[in-house]
Amino acid sequence: MVQKKKKGGRYTPPRKPRGQQGYLSLGQTAGAFVPVELPRSKEDIEAIIVARAMRNRSGGERFLLDIEGDPIQNPEDDHDFTLRKPTGDERLELVEITDPRGAGRPGSTRPPAGNAAFADIVRGIILEKSRRYGLGRPDDPRRIHLLLYATDLKWRVNESIQQILMAELAEANHGFLSVLLYEPDDETDGRVVELAPVDPAVLAAIPVDRLRARWTIQVDLSKARFHGDGTMRVPLNPPPDFQPPR
């Protein structure tokens, strides 16, 4: 659940562009793509993302340790959420994973096929958020967590890119108490991945160079076609920069 701080007077939040989320619902001989609808406004989308992250947490995420009650959603001109804790309030910021070239329109562009380029975009989003808040100073008293999410299937972060980010954020001076990623599976279920901080033993086992050299070709689940014999065809959705390895 999420609590909301009230605003004085009537307020209609602006509509936020969003992409297409959804999943495949499969039966024994048939199936269908099921779109996951999101609200119109940024505030309502973020409230749903945080509520789903709370529902699907493992319990060890740092932003939830010793939390008292539910996250409190703040007015628009403040940090996104307040986390009440015995040692003092902490803040939770959200940021959407999307292409900076897309002019704020999720789904209008596709991520690069190369893991390295995709990871660089996501890391750039994190560091830009850090720069905007002036984080990274050793004496900074602010205690802020960052939660990343995507509203478009194309910008789902696969496990190889997650591992790249874990390794590279460990070397970056981003200043967040923790950096997390919420990956939805359907309307209610998903997974919370902690990208930073990560146990040094886990980091030591990540083959960063090998993972950065990989390419990822996505499929377009919304165009899946099912046949009477129980087979399914899903078209590939390679981005323009993809060149098959020789």
Range with the poorest average pLDDT among 39-48, 131-140, 235-244: 235-244
Question: Could you report the per-residue pLDDT of 134-165, keeping only the tens digit for each?
Answer: 887 777 777 899 999 998 888 999 999 999 99
In percent, the amount of the chain with pLDDT more than 70 equals 83
Q: Which residues pair with 146 in a beta bridge?
A: 93, 179
Q: Examine the pLDDT at 235 and tell me if it is beyond 80.
A: no
Question: What pLDDT is recorded for position 184?
Answer: 87
Please give the full DSSP string across the chain, using - where no structure is assigned: --EE---SS---PPBPP---EEEEEE-SS-EEEEEE---SBHHHHHHHHHHHHHHT--S--GGGTT--SS-EEPPTTS-SEEE--TT--EEEEEEE---GGGTT-TTSS---SBHHHHHHHHHHHHHHHHHHHT---TT----EEEEEE-SSGGG---HHHHHHHHHHHTTS----SEEEEEEESSSS-EEEEEEES--HHHHHT--HHHHHT-B---B-GGG-EE-TTS-EE--B---TT-----
Q: Examine the pLDDT at 100 and tell me if it is beyond 80.
A: no
Question: Could you report the per-residue pLDDT of 184-222, keeping only the tens digit for each?
Answer: 888 888 899 999 999 999 999 999 999 999 988 877 788
Question: What pLDDT is recorded for position 178?
Answer: 93
Q: Which residues pair with 196 in a beta bridge?
A: 179
Nearest C-alpha neighbor of 79 from the set 160, 21, 145:
145
Question: What pLDDT is recorded for position 130?
Answer: 94
Question: What pLDDT is recorded for position 49?
Answer: 93
Range with top average pLDDT, 39-43, 110-114, 170-174: 170-174
In order of their start, the domains of the chain are 38-218 (3.40.1540)
Give mean pLDDT, residues 236-246: 66
Give mean pLDDT, residues 45-64: 84
Give mean pLDDT, residues 78-82: 88
Q: Look up the pTM and report it.
A: 0.84
Q: Residue 43 in contact with residue 241, Cβ under 8 Å? A: no
Please give the full DSSP string across 195-232, using - where no structure is assigned: EES--HHHHHT--HHHHHT-B---B-GGG-EE-TTS-E
Q: How confident is the model at residue 12 (pLDDT cuts 50, 70, 90)?
A: low
